[in-house]
Structure 1
Amino acid sequence: MTDVDPTGTLDRLGLTEYEERTLTELFTLGRTTAPTLAESTGVPKARIYGVLDALADRGFVKVIPERPKRYQPRSPGAILERAVENRRQDYEGFRATLDERRGAFLEEFEPRYERASEGVTPTEELFSVVDVGEPSEAETRRLYHQADEQLRIITKSFEYLDTVAPALTAATERDIDVAVLMLHPDHLDADNAATQAAVVERIEHEYPAVGLRFSTGKLPWRGTLADPSMDYETGRAIVLVEEKDVPLSMRQAALTENGSFVAGLKRYFDLLWEYESVGEYPRHES
């Protein structure tokens, strides 16, 4: 039975296990038949044609009209380009659908909302919450994409860099001022220190414009600030409070768009950056 993609890229494209297994094997076999693929991948013969049709519909596989019919993968580069195009078309279709329904939706629900809001003093919620993991990572990417001027990141070792890298790249390409404050490796265990060292090397190589310093004291919270302003008018943030005895899977991250609160977080960041951090990463020769 073939191995699935060891890089994890095909999984991010939304392929099922059978689709991923089949496409991975096609890269090795080249042009071949469905029965051959079923035998080499372990995908049931009753399912293999549907799997191949799904891959062909996405544009990842070419169907060769021979007898018997054969299937050939597109190049890995072409598959990634097609995946981006597919997602773009999905988004455009989604947007067009909402545009078509917008008038009817607002006509139906705006009056209800306005009646329910009559006599109620508007208040701004200080926080909302999301689960730590993919929900919090998605919100972090949103902050990166929406930033107009600044991003300030406080993190232990930036171990989630892979999940936000495209958004970080886009931010730096827009000349967003990005600064990252990590925990000093003296406060990390060996595994986290090794992770951090690899991340630091990657940032220095791929994101040379990003500011980077290391806190000499422990960090009570971690998170991202986007466009904080000292006039308290703007600012967005996602914050995870350090809870030593609570498993990460059980934690929640706090979201806020309260300008005053974000300004306070920015002042804390600036104080650590200026007075309680170092700029040189301690590299130990092997």
Structure 2
Amino acid sequence: MGPRTGSTELLQQLNLKEYEATALAHLLSAGRTTAPDISEATGIPQARVYGVLDSLADYGFIKVIPGRPKQYQPKSPAEILERAKENRRQRYEDYCTEVEDLREAFIEEFGPLYERADEDVTPTAELFHVVDVGTPSETETRQLYRNATDEVFVITNSFAYFDDVEPAVNGALENGVDVSILFLDPRTLPQEKAAVQADVVDRLEAEFPAIDYRFSEERLPWRGTFVDPSMAYDSGKAIFLVEETDVPDHRRQAAITENGSFVAGMLRYFDLIWEYESLEARPSS
């Protein structure tokens, strides 16, 4: 009996083709077996089944046991999921490498055209643009970490979205970028948010000792992330939102700016709070 349709559809969510998903579903239910047996049990043509199994082996989802005939054994479901994530990660890293290899020629070709068109169309740059809070804002935040070359500054209540940006944070640290976080005093937070903050701070202490953080003694008017500010007003980018306690985040938008003067002003504000109105140690309730 062939694999159930639901099993095949579930495996196809790992970006497997129909025959690949069908063969893997059968292996997961039948265990070690041969290509002819898989072909007979699933209806995959014998002319195709070896190529399908070679693909599954390349993905790291099955083992090939030499012999006459060869046998094929599936990895465990947990191993398959981990390998699927690693495959996607590797494809992303390969794509990033390809884009970086393209950078010099791309900038040389299109940079002058863009600058000339921008000069012709508008004499002043847009100060802000906005994105929805949630997945779009988290995507923009991850991009800030990836593009940072020197410093990242964060103002946050509890850093509840840390899981969503952690790989980007870790990448920035590995690239030698300094990360500083200004948390809101947990005594000013609702109990649920204070608990989230405590968990995040514990993780930072245990897993990211290079990150500096302090706790603001007062409520802050905005929260967000900004990178690479310059007192020459010629660099920096930020994403932030002003505090509106009566409006849920899913109904809000975050502002993004690449205006060097504005980002420099954000740094001055951050430094003042950090130096004069914050605590190094976690406040006790």
So what's the TM-score if we normalise by structure 1? 0.70
Which stretch has the larger CA shift, 231-240 or 75-84? 75-84
More deviation, 253-262/69-78: 69-78
Which residue of 49, 71, 74 maps to 1:72?
74
Match of 1:42 in 2: none
- Runs of 5+ unmatched residues, structure 1: 1-15, 24-31, 40-44
Structure-to-structure mapping, 1:96-115, within 5 angstroms: 110=113
Q: CA RMSD in A?
A: 3.9
Instruction: Tell me if structure 2 keeps the 8 A contact 1:213–1:277.
Output: yes
**1:85: Cα distance to partner?**
2.2
Q: In structure 2, do the counterparts of structure 1 residues 58 and 255 end up closer, same or farther at CA, with 3 Å as the change threshold?
A: farther
* Pair 121,150 (structure 1): closer, same or farther in 2 beyond 3 Å: same
Moved more, 83-92 or 207-216: 83-92
The structure with the larger Rg is: 2
Could you say if the C-alpha distance between residues 268 and 17 of structure 1 is closer, same or farther in structure 2, counting changes exceeding 3 Å? Answer: farther
Q: Using the alignment, how far apart are the partners of 2:118 and 2:95 within structure 1?
A: 35
CA distance in 1, matches of 2:122, 2:250: 37
Asked whether the 8 Å contact 2:227–2:238 carries over to 1, the reply is: yes
TM-score, normalised on structure 2? Answer: 0.70
Is 1:279 equivalent to 2:270 in the alignment? Answer: no
Q: Residue 180 of structure 2 aligns with which residue?
A: 179
Alignment of 1:213-252 (within 5 A): 213-252=214-253
Output one character per residue of 1:59-86: Cα deviation in whole Å (capped at 9) or x when no partner: 142276999x966127466554433223
Partner of 1:56: 56
Query: Is the Cα contact below 8 Å between 1:214 and 1:281 reproduced in 2?
Result: yes
Aligned partners of 2:57 and 2:64 also within 8 Å: no
1:58, 1:86 within 8 Å by CA — same for their partners in 2? no
| Corresponding residue to 2:25 among 12, 25, 34 | 34
SS in 1 for 2:137: helix
- Cα separation, partners in 2 of 1:83 and 1:278, compared to 1, 3 Å: same
Matched, 1:82 2:91: no
Identity level (%): 43
The corresponding residue for 2:213 is 212
Residue type at the aligned position of 2:75: P
Structure 2 unmatched ranges of 5 or more: 1-8, 17-22, 31-41, 44-48
Give the whole-Å Cα distance in 2 for the aligned partners of 1:37 and 1:132.
41
Deviations 1:92-142 (A, max 9, x none): 66778x89x969x96xxx59x95x667545211110111111111111111
**How far apart are residue 216 of structure 1 and its match?**
1.2
